[in-house]
């Protein structure tokens, strides 16, 4: 590491900029935002640069640079576009032990400008040491997407409460308290724009932390999507990184699970055909028990937790127990798998409505309103439909759907193992067996399936 990342206080400090063009103006904007006073040396300057100097109560010298312009300054920027002048400025500044930046010349710099991500009092700098500034900016954009929209308000709240917390809690407890604030229900209220409620909850918790156990934990009910980790929401990813313990299902892909905080405890509670590793009532109670131990609990589900995910049952138990919780929707399997298979669920020429149906057999039968499903202009999506595909196709034909109606099975949709098997109501059950289709698989039935061959875009290879 050649450049040590440091935070430099430039409030009311005199900063010299040699140069008056667009590059110098960009640097001036940044320095003025930090509260600096500007001294600009250049034969000509932009109107914006002159205004920035005036706003900072600084000085503009119309003319050529000489070493006397360094008198009394704390920081130097050379942005003339003339390498020889920039070299001279750098040498003069180094001789006086002044930090100097020469734009696009890392070899002449003693410091570089990082790509800065700013949220209120919080600022993050990403530096490549001048070797790849565009890459640093791309990384900044990725980090911006990951930060909670309320992070600035949360940092401001912490600043207001810092001395109060310091006066109340001993040093060994402060770190745990702030971690709870930044990752628990206080942060959730700030994200929701409920700043007054967040501050009140922080103060209530502060009283509770004095000589007593930490407050109750929280549960994050998060939809992990159909498999591709790129389909996670930013909020889901943030909460996955905060959890102390994760309860996950069979439908959560290994790639998604890899994004959970590495030191989090992992508990598998998935269900398979005719085998439940953990009964649902036990899962509900486990969520309550772990949260009451002060844990941040991630309940990670494949797809969306409120679409055939039994998420409503789980948060109902949490609400009864007074456990704080958040729900983060995920891309449901129907949407994700259909999109990756090139099968639009609705289309003006084919389907004006779509219906999600559970294809899970109960006691060997599928008790469903089959007559309602046989309607033109409708797409049917059967979740967990592989086991009952024979029954599904037979019942639809029995109730009047043409046997030539296009139908598809999407196996392991959105993942690298995705496979799409296309047929119709008569051929799909046989194709499922001959092609060896395995769960998880989603059945899509309707004329939209006929668009698959033309619109397919995703190659699992």
Just list the catalytic residues.
Answer: 249, 271
Cα separation of 17 and 86, whole Å?
A: 11
Q: Would the annotation count 384 as a binding residue?
A: yes
Cα separation of 360 and 356, whole Å?
A: 12
Cα separation of 118 and 353, whole Å?
A: 44
Backbone angles phi, psi at 273, to 5 degrees: -55, 125
What residue has token string 């990184």?
A: 241
34 contact partners, CB below 8 Å, separation of at least 6 = 10, 11
Neighbours of 163 (CB within 10 A): 9
Question: What's the N-to-C CA distance of the chain in angstroms?
Answer: 38
Q: Would the annotation count 17 as a binding residue?
A: no
Q: Would the annotation count 303 as a binding residue?
A: yes
Comparing CA positions, the residue from 437, 183, 442, 201 lying closest to residue 298 is 183
Q: Would the annotation count 20 as a binding residue?
A: no
Q: Would the annotation count 184 as a binding residue?
A: no
Q: Would the annotation count 22 as a binding residue?
A: yes
SS (H, E, C) 328-369: ECCCCHHHHHHHHHCCCCCECCCECEEEEEECCCECCECCCC
Phi-psi region of 81 (alpha: psi -120 to 50; beta: other; left: phi over 0): left
Q: Would the annotation count 161 as a binding residue?
A: no
Q: Would the annotation count 107 as a binding residue?
A: no
DSSP state, residue 216? P
Cα separation of 251 and 442, whole Å?
A: 12
Calculate ∠ Cα 292-310-288, nearest 5°.
5
Phi-psi region of 73 (alpha: psi -120 to 50; beta: other; left: phi over 0): beta
Q: Would the annotation count 413 as a binding residue?
A: yes
- Burial-class residue 273 by CB neighbours within 10 Å (0-12, 13-18, 19+): exposed
Binding site per annotation, positions for NAD(+): 22-23, 43-44
Residues annotated within a binding site: 22-23, 43-44, 226, 302-304, 307, 332-333, 384, 413
Binding-site residue ranges for S-adenosyl-L-methionine: 226, 302-304, 307, 332-333, 384, 413
């Amino acid at each position: 590491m050649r450049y040590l990342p440091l935070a430099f206080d430039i409030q009311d400090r005199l900063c010299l900029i040699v140069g008056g063009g667009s590059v110098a103006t960009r640097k001036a904007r940044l320095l003025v935002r930090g509260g600096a006073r500007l001294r600009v040396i250049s034969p000509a300057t932009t109107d914006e640069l002159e205004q920035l100097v005036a706003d900072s109560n600084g000085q503009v010298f119309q003319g050529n640079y000489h070493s006397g312009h360094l008198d009394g300054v704390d920081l130097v920027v050379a942005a003339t576009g003339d390498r020889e002048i920039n070299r001279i400025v750098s040498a003069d500044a180094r001789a006086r032990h002044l930090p100097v930046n020469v734009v696009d010349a890392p070899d002449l710099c003693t410091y570089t400008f990082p790509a800065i991500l700013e949220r209120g009092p919080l600022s993050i700098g990403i530096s490549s040491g001048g070797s790849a500034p565009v890459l640093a900016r791309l990384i900044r954009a990725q980090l911006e997407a990951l930060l909670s929209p309320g992070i600035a308000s949360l940092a401001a709240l912490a600043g207001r409460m810092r001395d109060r917390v310091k006066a109340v809690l001993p040093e060994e407890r402060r770190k745990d308290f702030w971690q709870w604030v930044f990752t628990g229900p206080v942060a959730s209220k700030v994200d929701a724009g409920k700043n007054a409620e967040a501050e009140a909850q922080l103060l209530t918790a502060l009283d509770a932390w004095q000589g007593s156990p930490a407050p109750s934990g929280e549960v994050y009910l998060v939809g992990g999507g159909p498999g591709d980790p790129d389909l996670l929401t930013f909020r889901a990813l943030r909460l996955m990184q905060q959890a102390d313990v994760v309860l996950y299902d069979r439908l959560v892909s290994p790639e998604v699970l890899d994004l959970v905080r590495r030191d989090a405890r992992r508990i598998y509670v998935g269900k398979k055909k005719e085998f439940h590793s953990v009964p649902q009532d036990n899962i509900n109670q486990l969520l309550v028990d772990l949260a009451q131990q002060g844990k941040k609990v991630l309940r990670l589900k494949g797809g969306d937790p409120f679409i055939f995910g039994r998420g409503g049952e789980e948060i109902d138990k949490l609400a009864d127990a007074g456990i704080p919780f958040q729900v983060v929707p995920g891309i449901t399997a129907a949407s994700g798998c259909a999109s990756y298979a090139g099968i639009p669920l609705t289309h003006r020429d084919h389907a004006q409505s779509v219906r999600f149906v559970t294809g899970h057999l109960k006691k060997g039968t599928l008790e469903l309103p089959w007559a309602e499903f046989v309607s033109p202009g409708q797409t049917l999506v059967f979740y967990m439909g592989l086991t009952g595909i024979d029954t599904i196709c037979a019942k639809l034909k029995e109730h009047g759907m043409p046997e030539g109606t296009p139908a598809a099975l999407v196996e392991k949709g959105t993942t690298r193992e995705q496979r799409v098997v296309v047929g119709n109501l008569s051929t799909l059950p046989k194709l499922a067996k001959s092609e060896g289709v395995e769960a998880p698989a989603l059945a899509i039935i309707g004329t939209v399936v006929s668009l698959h061959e033309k619109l397919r875009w995703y190659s699992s290879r």
